[in-house]
Structure 1
Amino acid sequence: MNDDQCLRRLIFRKDVLTELCNLLQAELEPQTRVRTALSVASKVTIALNFYATGSFHATTADIRNISQFAAYKSMREVTGALHIRRADYISFPMSRDKQLEHQTAFLHNEGFLRVQGVIDSSYVGLRAPKQAPEQFRNHKGLLSLNVQLICYHNHKIMKVDARFPGSSHDSFILRQSGVPHLFTGPNEDCGWLLGDKGYVLSTGLMTPLLNPRTAVQLAYNESHSATRTIIEHTIGILKQRMPIVAWTTQWVCCSPCLNMYPYSWWCAACSTTWPS
C-alpha cells in the first residue's frame, strides 16, 4: 500500500505502520515456520483496518485469502500487544517539571490557572453480555461501557479507564480509578483537573458553578467550559478516527465471536495507536 491507501484504510502513514510493526515484532512474530502463518505486517494491518472501519466483516473482506478466524486471532494478538505497552504512551506524569508544563499550556489556551488535565467519560456501545446485562444499560437506555479519559491541552490522552459498565456514574469511576490519589500528599498543591457537573468538587478536581450570579462567577464558568471542551473534542476525534469505539458500530464491536474481555483492551489500544 502507498501512503494514500494507508491513510484511507488504516488512518496511518506508511512509515508509522512500519514503526508500529517494528515495535510489536517480538510479540507478534509467528511461532511456526508454516508457510501460511501471517507476518507481523499482516497482523498489524488487519487490526488497524478493524479499528479504522469498526467492522469485523469489512476487515476480512478487505484482505484477501485470510479466514475470519485468522483475522480475529490477529486482532486479539495486536490488541493484546498494544495493551501491554499502553503505559509507554498513556501515562499521567506528576513530576514538578511536567506539572509546570501542563499548567503553562492550559493557561495559554483559555486562561484557566493550574490545570493538569481535563476529564470526561464516554459511552462505548456493546451487545448485551450473558451475565448481568442490565449493569451495562446507561441512562439513555442503551448497553455500553462508561469509559473515563483524561487528556492534555493538545488532545494527547494520558489516562484511560474502561473497566466499568454503562450504569456506573462518572464520579464513581473517578473514585475507583486512583486518579484522586495523584493530587494528595506532596502533590496536593500541584493543581487540578477540570470536569463537568457530573463530577463532585474535590481536591484535585474543579467543576462548574451550578448557579453563577456575579461577573466573577460567570467568568469562571466561561473559562472552565472553554478549557474543558478539549476533552470533548478529543473524544469526538477519537471516535471519528477509530469507529470501533463509536456508537455507530456497537452491533459489530462486540459480536458473539469477539466476547467481552478484549473490549477494554480496544479502548486502550485505540488511544495508544491514535495518531497525533
Structure 2
Amino acid sequence: MTRRPKGMRKVAEQDVDTDVVADGPMLQGSSDSRQQVSYIDLTDDQYPQRLRFRKDVVTELCHLLQPDLESQTRLRTALSVASKVTIALNFYTNGSFQGATADISNIFQFATHRSIRQVTDTLKKRRRDYISFPMTREKQLERATGFFRIAGFPRVEGAKGYTHVALRAPLTNPETFRHRKGYHSLNVQLECAHKYQIMVADDRYPGSSHDAFILWQTNVPGLFQLPNEGRGWLLGDKGYLLSTWIMTSLRNTTIPAQHSYNESHATTRNIIEQTIGILKQRFCYLDSSGLR
C-alpha cells in the first residue's frame, strides 16, 4: 500500500476544508502559508498566455460564479473565488495539473484538482443560460440571412460537427471510449450559428459512438419536426443521413450544379470547423495533443 506523506496524513486526520491553501509549511503545522495568487496579480502580458481572456471578462466570470464558489469556511487560508477561477482557467488553457497550474496560485495539486472540479461543475450547471437553439421566427431569419451571406446557401439554421476530446481510459467499459485512431475519447457533438455561437453541445457519449446516433439522442430533430417551427435545415458532413432538415454533401458529382452545391455546402459548413478550432486553440485541454 502506498503511504501518504506525513503532512498529508495530518490534513486528513484534522479534516481540513479542501478549499484551504495547502503548501509545505502549513502541512507541517505552521500557521504561515504562501500568499494566494489570482488573475488580479497577473500582468497584462500574462493574460493571453495563461488565461486566454481579458481581465474584465475574468472579473465578470468571478461575479457570476461567486454564489456557488464562495468558501463556507472562515479560515484565512481558504481559497478565494478569484483563485479558484484562475486555477481552472489556467488548467483549461494549459491542459495540465502540473507546473504552471499549481504554481500560478501557490497551492498543492489536491487543492488545484478540487478547484477545477468546482468551477467546471458550476459552469456546466449554468450552461443552459448561454447554450440554446432559439427557434423564434426572428432568430431563424437572422441565422438564415447570416449563413446565406457566407456562400449563398439558403435557409441554413446551423452547422453541425463533432470533435473528440481525449481522456484516460475509464475503468468501466474502456473499449467503448476507444476512438478509431486508437486513443480513448468523448465524442462531443456541436452545432453553431453563423457568428460562431454554440447552440448545442453534447458530451455524454463515448468515442466509439456514431455521430448520427448521438444526433438522434438530442432534442434537435424535434425542433425541425414541429409544425411551423423549423423552416430550414442544418448542414452536416457525410456521417449524417440526408433528410428534410439536415443537408449533407453529394457523392459522385457529375454536373456543374452539383459541384456548386458541394462547394457552397462546404464553405458554409466550415463555420463549425472554425468554431472547434477556436475552442481547441483557446483551451488546450480539449486537444488530444494537449492531454498531459
Q: Which interval holds the TM-score relative to the shorter structure?
A: 0.7 to 0.9
Whole-angstrom distance in 2 between the partners of 1:248 and 1:3: 27
Is 1:46 the counterpart of 2:87? The answer is yes
1:211 aligns with 2:252: yes
Distance 2:224 2:150 in 1: 22
Match of 1:267 in 2: none
Contact residue 48 and residue 54 of structure 2 kept, 8 A? yes
The corresponding residue for 1:33 is: 74
Q: What are the residue-to-residue correspondences of 1:130-145 with 2, within 5 Å?
A: 130-145=171-186
> What are the within-5 Å matches in structure 2 for residues 204-243 of structure 1?
204-243=245-284
Task: Note if contact 1:107-1:113 (Cα within 8 Å) is conserved in structure 2.
Answer: yes
Contact 2:135 2:230 in 1 (8 A): no
Inter-partner Cα distance in structure 1 for 2:230 and 2:89: 41
Higher helix residue share: 1
Which whole-Å deviations, capped at 9, do the CAs of 1:211-266 have from their partners, x for residues lacking one?
1111111111110011011111111111111011101133x3xxxxxxxxxxxxxx
Q: For residue 187 of structure 1, report the CA deviation from its aligned partner.
A: 4.3
When the two structures are superposed, what TM-score results if normalisation uses the length of structure 1? 0.88
Name which of structure 1's ranges 8-17 and 134-143 shifts more when overlaid on structure 2: 134-143
Which residue does the alignment assign to 2:50? Answer: 9
Structure 1 position 188, deviation (Å): 5.4
Find the aligned partners of 2:140 and 2:114 in 1 and give their Cα distance: 41
C-alpha contact (below 8 Å) 1:118/1:228 kept by paired residues: yes
Q: Answer whether contact 2:102 2:112 (CA < 8 A) is retained.
A: no
Cα distance in 2 for partners of 1:41, 1:228 equals 38
- CA drift at 1:64: 4.5
Structure 2: give runs of 5+ residues left out of the alignment: 1-41
2:39 maps to: none
In structure 2, the partner of 1:266 is none
Aligned AA for 2:178? R
| Aligned match for 2:63, one of 2, 9, 22 | 22
Residue 67 of structure 1 aligns with which residue? 108
1:1-276 alignment runs, 5 A limit: 1-187=42-228, 189-250=230-291, 252=292
Q: Please identify, of 211-220 and 113-122, the stretch whose mean Cα deviation from structure 2 is larger.
A: 211-220
- Taking only aligned residues, the RMSD between alpha carbons, in angstroms, comes to 1.2
Unaligned runs of 5+ in 1: 253-276
**SS at 1:181 equivalent:** helix
Q: Is the 8 A contact 1:60 1:67 kept in 2?
A: no
Does the C-alpha gap of structure 1 residues 148 and 103 become closer, same or farther in structure 2, counting only changes over 3 Å? same
What secondary structure does 1:148 align onto? strand
Deviation of 1:153 after TM superposition, in Å, equals 1.2
Q: 1:259 — aligned with what? A: none
Runs of 4+ with >4 A deviation: none
* Distance of 2:71 and 2:189 partners within structure 1: 35
Task: Tell me the amino acid that sits aligned with residue 193 of structure 1.
Answer: L
In structure 2, the partner of 1:257 is none
TM-score (norm 2): 0.83
**Structure possessing the higher relative contact order (Cα contacts under 8 Å, 6 or more residues apart):** 1
The amino acid that maps onto 1:101 is E
| Inter-partner Cα distance in structure 1 for 2:210 and 2:268 | 22
SS in 2 for 1:147: strand
The answer as to whether partners of 2:135 and 2:229 remain within 8 angstroms in 1 is no
After the TM superposition, which of the residue ranges 92-101 and 56-65 deviates more from structure 2? 56-65
Deviation of the 1:160 alpha carbon: 0.3
Indicate if the aligned counterparts of 1:9 and 1:52 stay in contact, CA closer than 8 A: yes
CA distance in structure 1 between the partners assigned to 2:187 and 2:230 by the alignment? 29
